[in-house]
Amino acid sequence: GDSAGGSAKQGRDRQFQAILPLWGKMLNVEKTRIDKVMANEKLMPVISSLGTGAGSDFDLSRLRYHKVIIMADADVDGSHIRTLLLTFFFRYMRELVEKGHIYIAMPPLYKIVISKKEYYAYNDQERDKILKRNKVIAGGANIQRYKGLGEMNPEQLWNTTMDPEQRSMMKIKVDDAVEADEIFTTLMGDNVPPRRKFIEDNALSVSNLDV
């Protein structure tokens, strides 16, 4: 969005980082004709910025950036955006995924201030460990739960999500292209019963996934 995009642009290292803000609902390419995908106002800037083209015109040698990092809020909406973008990359720029160029940024859920010292926790378990490690009693820490990336100022966003020395990222890998193809078809396609069954069978591993 605009707020997170503004903070990211201010906080980035301009020598090697570029930011492309995206907002609103992304297109579900699994349910869309190829001509509509290529003309989509949200996906056209992605295709143009990466420089590779898409679909039958894709050429990995023209890729402008070694790492393509998806930054989204750590909530259900953010999870949905990530899934939609991953579906697009898998369907129209598959080599980016297969060659290990796609990453998911892992922003913290909590900022914890204890005796004027700041800590960041990426989940509830990390939050509890920080509190336990510092022997914090009730009310002894100021805990802020981030609702989105837009709540962070440029310095915080750099320190937690963009600094190569400190950030946490998840590299997207495709070990089995056929299995990945089936999963995207199940999750993003029109057929509801198999999608529901997949979610029920994988409830623990796909928690927070909005479909």
Q: Tens of pLDDT along the chain (211 residues)?
A: 555 567 788 878 888 899 998 877 788 888 889 999 999 999 999 999 999 999 999 999 999 999 999 998 877 778 788 888 988 998 899 999 999 999 999 888 899 999 889 999 988 999 999 999 988 876 788 999 987 888 888 888 888 889 999 888 889 887 755 566 777 676 666 665 655 554 455 444 444 444 4
Q: Which residue, among 120, 172, 112, 119, has the nearest Cα to 142 in the 3D structure?
A: 112
Predicted pLDDT of residue 147: 79
Predicted pLDDT of residue 210: 41
Instruction: Name the residue type at position 4.
Output: A
| Contact (CB, 8 A) for 50 and 204 | no
Predicted pLDDT of residue 8: 84
| Contact (CB, 8 A) for 195 and 182 | no
- Cα–Cα distance between 58 and 152 in angstroms, integer? 35
Predicted pLDDT of residue 153: 86
70 beta partners: 104
Predicted pLDDT of residue 123: 86
* Residue spans of beta strands (DSSP E) within 13-130: 68-70, 102-105, 110-114, 117-121
Predicted pLDDT of residue 69: 93
Strand order in the sheet with 68-70: 68-70, 102-105, 169-171
| CATH 3.40.50.670 domain range(s) in the chain | 2-107+164-201
- Cα–Cα distance between 177 and 185 in angstroms, integer? 12
Asked: is 2-107+164-201 a CATH 3.40.50.150 domain? The reply is no
Core vs surface per residue 78-102: b (16+ CB within 10 A) or e: bbbbbbbbbbbbbbbbbebbbeebb
Predicted pLDDT of residue 59: 97
